Amino acid sequence: MNKVAIELKGVSNFILKDVNLKIYENELFVLLGPTGSGKTTLLNVVAGLTPHKGSLFLNGNLSNSIPTNKREIGYLFQNLSLFPHLNVKSNIAYGLKVKKWPKERIEKRVEQLLDFFNIRNIGDRYPLHLSGGEKQRVALARAIAPKPKLLLLDEPLSNIDFRTSKYLRTEFKQIHKKLKITAIYVTHNLLEAEELADRIGVIRSGIIEQVGTVEEIFLYPKNKNVYDFVGAPNILTCNMIKVLGSGLAEVICRNIPIIIPYEGEKVKKIAIPPNHISIYKEKPPGPDINRFKGVV
């Protein structure tokens, strides 16, 4: 049986309403919900930054009264919060200096992380001269530098362009497997949740509406609130047929050929949100790509 790393029992405050939730050791748990639903508030409760009623257990220990700096948590904020006056190496080392690590140990840890995230070539640069993806890697390196037991990520990809975000999602999934760390990843993005999550918790108006696997959340929404948010996208199993060039490929899903964006990875499934489907009585203008005749 999986060990519980984070448990909330009857947790409530000005936003959260009687939250009961278990997150397991080494799990990548995605907290999914709209803006203002309580996602960040829940992260802050776990981090010890927000007061609450109810009980919070970290690795089996009641942690309500444990101060933030004693909780062994890495926190990656939405705005990344890199220090503009420090270069990459100094940003990564900052938390270690605060914890009064010996100088030699700090230098060794920073060198390890420069190699781990493949950012050695930017070690002397300042945040102003970093790309969005580079800032993301530096911020994540800083968050895990003290070797935390838990990692909290608050919409870390929300300010990054789609192509870079796609690449970083794949990279983060691989990094999480290597780190073997329990992580809560907050997002409002359905695609991020589908690609990253071991399990998903859907939160709305401070209430955890449903917890389950990707398939359980998207294919079997528990109630109207979950259905309204996830939109029950059509998730189709596909076979790759051919690469068309120009970042496109053709796949076959349930005997239907569909053209999709393609970045070189094997495609097994695609998701089509309802709001990406249009119905016309007459043939609309434009190329006949992903258009199908049918009876409604």
CATH code for the domain in which residue 98 is found = 3.40.50.300
Task: Answer yes or no: do 172 and 261 share one domain.
Answer: no
Among 177, 211, 232, identify where a domain stops: 232
Give the mean model confidence (pLDDT) for residues 152-164: 82
Task: Answer yes or no: do 216 and 264 share one domain.
Answer: no
Domain range spanning residue 273? 233-296
Task: Answer yes or no: do 33 and 94 share one domain.
Answer: yes
Task: Answer yes or no: do 290 and 206 share one domain.
Answer: no
pLDDT in tens, 96-115: 999 999 999 999 999 999 99
Task: Answer yes or no: do 17 and 114 share one domain.
Answer: yes
pLDDT at 152 over 60: yes
Beta strands 234-245 and 207-212, pairing class: unpaired
Task: Answer yes or no: do 253 and 172 share one domain.
Answer: no
Task: Answer yes or no: do 169 and 137 share one domain.
Answer: yes
Task: Answer yes or no: do 14 and 160 share one domain.
Answer: yes
Task: Answer yes or no: do 69 and 163 share one domain.
Answer: yes
CB 231 within 8 A of CB 275: yes
Task: Answer yes or no: do 13 and 36 share one domain.
Answer: yes
Task: Answer yes or no: do 224 and 293 share one domain.
Answer: no
What integer pLDDT is reported at residue 185 of this predicted model? 96
The Cα 146–Cα 277 span in angstroms is 46
The pair of structure tokens assigned to 226 is 């979950």
Mean pLDDT in the chain?
Answer: 90
CB 94 within 8 A of CB 83: yes
Give the mean model confidence (pLDDT) for residues 185-197: 91
pLDDT in tens, 237-254: 888 778 887 788 899 988
Express the helix, strand and coil content of the chain in percent, nearest 5 each.
Answer: 35, 30, 40
Among 211, 232, 253, identify where a domain stops: 232
Q: Considering just the CA atoms, what is the radius of gyration of the chain in Å?
A: 21
Task: Answer yes or no: do 163 and 239 share one domain.
Answer: no
Give the mean model confidence (pLDDT) for residues 165-178: 85
pLDDT in tens, 68-91: 999 999 999 888 789 999 999 999
pLDDT in tens, 2-34: 899 999 999 999 999 999 999 999 999 999 999
Residues 6 or more apart whose CB falls under 8 angstroms from that of 197 comprise 28, 29, 30, 185, 213, 214
H/E segment holding residue 209: strand 207-212
- In the chain, the number of structural domains is 2
The Cα 114–Cα 99 span in angstroms is 20
The Cα 118–Cα 268 span in angstroms is 28
Among 232, 263, 283, identify where a domain stops: 232
